[in-house]
Structure 1
Amino acid sequence: MFFIRLISKLPFWALYLISDFLYVLMAHVIGYRRKVIIENLQKCFPEKSAAELDAISKDFYRNLCDVIVETFKVLDMNVEQMQQRVQTTNLPLLTDMLDAGTPVLIMTTHQCNWEWLLPGCGTAFSYPTHGAYKPLHNQFFDKVMLSIRSRFGAKLIADTQILRESLRYKDEVRVVALVADQTPSSPKLAYKTLFLHRPTAFFTGTERLAYSLGYPVIFAEMKRVKRGFYEVTYHDIAKPPYDKNSHQILEGYVRQTEAAIRRAPSNWLWSHRRWKHHVDLD
């Protein structure tokens, strides 16, 4: 932990020198998950040329390396720095509901620096923020990531406990935030739809959580303005009362995620084996 905190105290210019070195190492020496990245891009953007896909993959590697060093930097950042580097274009869409006494469920995706989104929320408004997370197998790095994600007051809840814990705080005016684009371990029990030209399975747990809580759901889209600076834009997905026989929340989330990816392809996490399971839409 001492070494990581030492890294976090480096100025941004020094961290980005490390990021540039990591880029060369990961993109050109090791070829980190190169096959997965290219295959994902080819199948999701069949209309793009090989040169365009190569440019997207290179930008992806650069962005990923920035995310790595920026994530550690959170441990040394103060509120003013986070507010300066993560700004929201339409904060009233969220805070108007909170000010009216309505808790909100935020769904987001692995886009730009998703590790700055929760700390960014923690500095953008004064309401409690609860975030779902999947515990890491490595206890040391699990402790590090918990420290980073809760840096500005967010309460982290393990994904296996999120429904129970959320129901405990159901009537508290707060934000519950989840990254909802992970691959389900069992596609048979998932919601299936066409996503980026590909049959794709999505967890239904987030949708069930929204139904149980009765919260309105919004999507948080992150945009990279320049190196180390981001903008968050909120989009409405759905509001109660909900038709539990439909998948309006998940379908809305999928379309918002797809649109965000198309606007800035290199900002998404293409190294993730998102389509490792075969999915039939029948």
Structure 2
Amino acid sequence: MPTRPEPSCWLAAPLRWACRGIARLPQPRLLQLGAVLAWLLTPLLAGRRRIARINLALCFPELDPAAREALVRANTRDSVTGLLEMARAWYAPASALRGMADVEGLEHLQAAREHGRGVLLLTAHFPHLDLGARLLGEVLGEPLNGMVRRLGGNCGERMMQEGRRAAFATVIGKKDVRGLLRVLSRGGMVVYLADQNFTYNSAFVPFFGVQAATLTTTLELAHRAGVAIVPHWCQRLEDGRYRVRFDAPWDEASGTDPVAFAARYMRELEAVIRQHPAQYLWWHRRFKTRPEGEVSPYL
């Protein structure tokens, strides 16, 4: 039976034109534009800001209400700016990205790739995730592979898939385990995220002192593929440049306990977030799934 053609999108051409222009902006101008757009869009983001407010109250109880509200505003700015950084990741020519990132711990990645081994590049949901992967690919001289959620068929979502296919060597669906193992077995480097709320293959482990349902299959996937797990973190610095940091591989010292691995992942991620707390996806209902007897904080 023939498949139905995807509906046309009259916005696609002007959106691509706008994204290409944004991708070439000087970094100070891009950050300024992000701040202005965040201010303009704030009324439309009330639902997302409410989720962020709840998450930050759970994770930073030591902050007074005024300080947490300032963090909500900063997170709104960085989240909206992340959309512009996404456009840069997809459409910027290599020349526009040169010198934008400092890479630390590259020796850990190089050691993990010895003898042609693949690498599971473990990270988390930061607003500039796509740009960090593109910058790293430029430094290494080869594009990375990404395992991301495949979205629906509306105009914006199709553009996102198109952009990611341009920025990544391969885009692997979130649940496409065979595709992931195939790329890793060929020596590929795959950007992998497991820090959102999961209702399957998960365990409750502490994240900022709150029990959070966290995926427990990461270690098993790496063992099945025979690859190293190398955590990497990308943060935007005060001067607008980026720092990409690799940690030493975790798989060798993590044993075989998937819950202990998930707990370590959340512990290390928390330490990274505390350095730049506005640069994280606080708009996500991270604590939606609760242990038995607890109520979702988002009700």
The TM-score bracket by the shorter chain reads 0.7 to 0.9
Over residues 150-195 of structure 1, what are the superposed CA-to-partner deviations in whole Å (9 max), with x where a residue is unaligned? 334521111121x212333444222121121121134xx4121111
Aligned residue pairs, count = 279
CA contact (8 A) 1:130 1:175 kept: yes
**TM-score with structure 2 length normalisation?**
0.83
Residue 175 of structure 1 corresponds to which residue in structure 2? Answer: 189
Q: How far apart, in 1, do the equivalents of 2:265 and 2:197 lie?
A: 15
Q: Secondary structure at the match of 1:31?
A: helix
Which residue of 124, 128, 132 maps to 1:117? 132
Q: How far apart, in 2, do the equivalents of 1:206 and 1:194 lie?
A: 17
1:135 offset after TM fit, Å?
Answer: 0.7
Residue 266 of structure 2 corresponds to which residue in structure 1? Answer: 254
Residue 207 of structure 2 corresponds to which residue in structure 1? Answer: 195
Using the TM superposition, name which of 166-175 and 191-200 deviates more. 166-175
Q: Secondary structure at the match of 2:248?
A: strand
Over residues 98-118 of structure 1, what are the superposed CA-to-partner deviations in whole Å (9 max), with x where a residue is unaligned? 244332111111124112122
1:75 offset after TM fit, Å?
Answer: 3.4
User: Where do residues 11-90 of structure 1 align in structure 2 (5 Å cutoff)?
Assistant: 11-12=25-26, 15-27=30-42, 30-90=45-105
Q: How far apart, in 2, do the equivalents of 1:28 and 1:3 lie?
A: 25
What is the Cα-based RMSD across aligned positions, in Å?
2.6
Q: Secondary structure at the match of 1:48?
A: coil
1:140 offset after TM fit, Å?
Answer: 3.0
Structure 2 residue runs without a partner (length 5+): 1-11, 294-299
1:7 offset after TM fit, Å?
Answer: 0.9
Using the TM superposition, name which of 125-134 and 229-238 deviates more. 125-134
Q: How far apart, in 2, do the equivalents of 1:150 and 1:229 lie?
A: 24
1:19 offset after TM fit, Å?
Answer: 2.2
Distance 1:94 1:232, change over 3 A: same
Q: How far apart, in 2, do the equivalents of 1:153 and 1:278 lie?
A: 35
Q: Secondary structure at the match of 2:113?
A: helix
Letter of the aligned partner of 2:199 in structure 1?
S
Is 1:6 aligned with 2:6? no
1:66 offset after TM fit, Å?
Answer: 0.9
Q: Secondary structure at the match of 2:266?
A: helix
1:252 offset after TM fit, Å?
Answer: 2.4
Q: How far apart, in 2, do the equivalents of 1:58 and 1:38 lie?
A: 10
Distance 1:204 1:68, change over 3 A: same
1:134 offset after TM fit, Å?
Answer: 0.7
Q: How far apart, in 2, do the equivalents of 1:50 and 1:137 lie?
A: 37
Q: How far apart, in 2, do the equivalents of 1:118 and 1:166 lie?
A: 17
Q: How far apart, in 2, do the equivalents of 1:266 and 1:72 lie?
A: 20
Residue 185 of structure 1 corresponds to which residue in structure 2? Answer: 199
Distance 1:29 1:111, change over 3 A: closer
Q: How far apart, in 1, do the equivalents of 2:115 and 2:231 lie?
A: 19
Is 1:263 aligned with 2:275? yes
Letter of the aligned partner of 1:62 in structure 2?
R
1:25 offset after TM fit, Å?
Answer: 2.6
Q: How far apart, in 2, do the equivalents of 1:60 and 1:23 lie?
A: 10
Letter of the aligned partner of 1:132 in structure 2?
M
Residue 6 of structure 2 corresponds to which residue in structure 1? Answer: none
Q: How far apart, in 2, do the equivalents of 1:272 and 1:215 lie?
A: 30
Q: Secondary structure at the match of 1:236?
A: coil
Which residue of 132, 142, 145 maps to 1:130? 145
- Percent of residue pairs identical: 22
Q: Secondary structure at the match of 1:185?
A: coil
Q: Secondary structure at the match of 1:22?
A: helix
1:235 offset after TM fit, Å?
Answer: 1.4
**TM-score with structure 1 length normalisation?**
0.87
Distance 1:69 1:259, change over 3 A: same
1:21 offset after TM fit, Å?
Answer: 3.0
Q: Secondary structure at the match of 2:198?
A: coil
CA contact (8 A) 2:145 2:168 kept: no
Is 1:164 aligned with 2:175? no
CA contact (8 A) 1:238 1:248 kept: no
